[in-house]
Amino acid sequence: MKSQIIEQLDQPELVLPTLIAEGLAANDRIKVRMSALQAAAQHARDPARPVIDLGPECHAAGLDASAIMSLVGGAHLTADGRIAAPDLAKLTRGVLDDAGTMIRAVKAGAPPDGEAAATRLAAVTAASLGAGNEIAAADIAKLTGLSEAGGDSLHRLVMDLHKALNRLAGACAEEIVAGAHVYGLAPGDRPVVEAFMRGVDETRGLKFDHPGLGTTATRSRSRLVIQNDIGATDAHVVVIAVDGNAVTLTYTDVHLVRAEFFMALFNAFPAQWSGLDRKNVDGLGDDGVFYLVTGRYEAESRERRDAFLAAIGAGLVFLIDWNKARKTLRTLVSKSDAIRVLDWAARHQVGHRAFLELGGAELIAAAVRHAAPKRIGFGERLDVVLGRDNTIDFLKTVLRISTHALLQGQSVRLVRDHVEADLVRHLERADSALLTIVVRQAGLAHDIAVAISRYISDLQSGQTVDGAALARRARRIEEKADRILVEARNEVARFDGGAIIEQLVDRIEEAVDELEQAAFIASLLPAGIDPAVLNVLAKLCATAVSGTEAAASGTAAASEAPEGRRADFEDALGAVGRLIDVEHMADDCEREVTTLTFHGGGDLRAALSALELARAIERATDRLAGFGHLLSQHVLADLSA
């Protein structure tokens, strides 16, 4: 347990079992050290006698046997009769530290006894333990002996502290409840601990071999207090106090953003959260700084209380190595999107530990090197190449693949193959995103074609028409298409979309330009055009409208084709076929207008304007047919892949 931070949170009941264990271990050490003092004094007075072997005692107490035996064997008398030994000062400091550890534990469980022991320690060691490597033989006797006259000594103090620790240990008898170490629980506390541990156990496997998630619980007056030390960071602790149906959660973290992430995991429960307070503790981490937040949830029932406790327990595993995962993801996406991915991974119980275990950023870098070395440059952020949403989806998939693989015991090679395949799929999605821009362009071409068709229809029916309005509308649409063209070219360059996609963008833009020119010519049509010519022009306009619709629907189907649906491939190729048919029909209409113009005897201006309009629309359908050929190449390339 991280007792230092638990003490800062004013939870002595939780710290006490740990302090008792530390105090009992200190008792074992101090006895060996006092024996070493006695053995050193004996060897200094009678160097010819064999040195007492304290090796077994040292090993049992966790002390360096060679250092202790070197001190005893090197002890000798000085000229003034004092005892000198190598590293004697270090040994006496250890004696004082051990006694202090025992007193600290007693003070936590029985404050008056602890205070009295501290006073006794100061009295018995004040004149006996110096700071150097020499000590008087009489002082060793005072420290380690037991006076028959009832005088105090270090030995007597240690004996009394040992008895006090044993009494406290008896009152803190340990049990195991659902994997939690518990002390002094009331009968109704077990279901509460079990609810919390259900959540911990639900996701515990996602930490894999990482240490952490040790849980302690104890009864503190009217409250049950549960503590979990999460991972290895000193100040990373959660303490939960349960009083009836009220749950108070205290959480500490050295990373502010991780604390904010943790709070957000429980937005399904209407808990009241305090602000994130900045705290300082000497000797804690690099600068002794950590953040503390408290949340309180007044549950309307035991079921809701237990659900909240289980949610807390289940969420803890996603805090382990969270900041490491965040830093790794930040090399691929923005800071906020990295947290967004981790939030998704926690809420879907996927986690990030498996991703880190399998290499983290290197796992993705290897996929880039094998699957797309030319499209993604060294050190280039993925969201720049794939687009933000596409990249976030890819990273979610990588985390899911990694977790599933480790849980199922799959090979690293298989994981890498899956990640590479998914990267290729998302690169294809990026191409599909480019095609959606082309669909917008085709939609604008359709708008102009429809406007011309309606204008010709109005002329046929003898209605009043506004040619200037037609020209202005077509011009505005064409200018919008130009802006989209710039956007499209930038996106093609950014995504490295390839030559075919760039040519598709150019072809549809050329069709828009030809249709805008056709609208301008139509706006200049004089009165008195031969009705037969108008009929053919109307048919030609309908053909152009059909062509723009085929271009839009075919491109939309092609953008979905990488998902592997056969119907999308068929729809895209069917649209290509319609574009070829449209081009042939437009050729026939244009020739029919030419024939009527040459054989007619009407107004020359009307004949020439009709002929120019037909030729402009026919050129637009030529561009659409060329677009169709390129679209076919793109779709067939996807199909073969």
Same domain, 127 and 194: no
527 CB contacts (<8 Å, ≥6 apart)?
606
Q: Is residue 417 one of the residues assigned to a domain?
A: no
Q: Are 487 and 493 in contact (CB under 8 A)?
A: no
* Three-class DSSP category at 222: coil
Task: Examine the domain organization and report whether 107 and 42 are in the same domain.
Answer: yes
Verify that 370 and 454 share a domain, yes or no: no
Give the C-alpha separation, 116 to 464, whole Å: 110
Distance CA 595, CA 604 (A): 14
Give the residue ranges of the chain where pLDDT is below 50. 1
Integer CA distances (angstroms), 453 to 154, 444, 469, 477, 614, in order: 108, 14, 14, 16, 12
Radius of gyration of the chain (CA): 42
DSSP category for residue 189: G
Q: Name the amino acid, one letter, at 631.
A: L
Cα–Cα dist 293/250, whole Å: 6
Global pTM value: 0.58
Are the C-beta atoms of 118 and 103 separated by less than 8 Å? yes
Distance CA 422, CA 248 (A): 43
415 domain residue, yes or no? no
> Kind and range of the H or E element at 145?
none
Q: How far apart are CA 496 and CA 490, in angstroms?
A: 10
Residue 538, pLDDT score: 94
Residue found under tokens 């002890």: 75
The 10 Å Cβ neighbour count of residue 176 is 8
Q: Within 13 Å and on the Cβ side, how many CA atoms surround 272?
A: 4
Of the candidates 311, 361, 365, the one whose C-alpha atom is nearest the C-alpha of residue 338 is 361
Is the backbone of residue 451 left (phi > 0), alpha (psi -120 to 50) or beta? alpha
- In terms of Cα–Cα distance, which of 213, 394, 400 is closest to 318? 213
Cα separation, 329 vs 335, whole angstroms: 8
In a domain, 418, yes or no: no
Query: Are residue 374 and residue 481 in the same domain, yes or no?
Result: no
Asked if 264 and 293 touch (Cβ cutoff 8 Å), the reply is no
333 inside domain: yes
DSSP H stretches of helix in 46-64 = 55-61
DSSP 1: -
What angle (nearest 5°) sits at the alpha carbon of residue 245, between those of residues 242 and 250?
35
Boundary residue ending a domain (320, 348, 374): 320
Q: How far apart are CA 147 and CA 482, in angstroms?
A: 103
Of 140, 168, 136, nearest to 24 by C-alpha is 168
- Secondary structure (DSSP) of 299-327: -SSHHHHHHHHHHHHHHGGGGTTHHHHHH
- Which of residues 171, 193, 218 is at a domain's end? 171
Predicted local distance difference test score (pLDDT) of residue 449? 94
Could you give the number of structural domains in the chain? Answer: 4
Instruction: Identify the domain boundary among 269, 302, 320.
Output: 320
Number of CB atoms found within 10 A of residue 330's CB:
16
339 and 397, same domain (yes or no): yes
pLDDT at 228: 86
User: Is 250 a domain residue?
Assistant: yes
482 with 489: CB under 8 angstroms?
Answer: no
Task: Say whether both 200 and 308 belong to one domain.
Answer: yes
Could you tell me if 254 and 178 lie in one domain? yes
Q: Are residues 393 and 273 in the same domain?
A: no
* Cβ neighbours of 584 (radius 10 Å): 12
User: H-helix or E-strand containing 183?
Assistant: strand 180-183
Same domain, 122 and 186: no
Q: Which residues of 593-602 are buried (b: 16+ CB within 10 A; e: fewer)?
A: bbebbeebee
Strands lying side by side in the sheet with 83-84: 76-77, 83-84, 134-135
Range of the domain at 149: 3-171
State how beta strands 215-220 and 180-183 pair. parallel
b/e code 566-575 from CB counts within 10 Å (16+ = b): eebbebbbeb
* pLDDT value of position 299: 93
pLDDT of residue 72: 92
* 613 contacts: CB under 8 Å, gap ≥ 6: 518, 521, 522, 525, 537
The packing angle between helices 388-408 and 335-347, to 10°, is: 40
Contact criterion met (CB below 8 Å) for 36 and 163: no
Tell me: do 342 and 315 sit in the same domain. no
Is residue 544 domain-resident? yes
Q: What is the CATH number of the domain that holds 620?
A: 1.20.58.220
Contact in structure between 99 and 27 (CB atoms under 8 Å): no
Q: Does residue 304 sit in the same domain as residue 334? A: no
Pairing of the two strands 272-273 and 215-220? unpaired
For residue 421, being part of any structural domain is answered with: no
Nearest partner of 312 among 222, 251, 233, judged by Cα = 251
Q: How far apart are CA 431 and CA 127, in angstroms?
A: 84
Q: Is residue 419 part of a domain?
A: no
Cα separation of 170 and 225, whole Å? 19
One domain for residues 245 and 189: yes
**Which residues is 175 bridged to in the sheet?**
182
Closest CA to 98 of 31, 168, 12: 31
* Spatial separation of the C-alpha atoms in residues 388 and 286, rounded to whole Å: 35
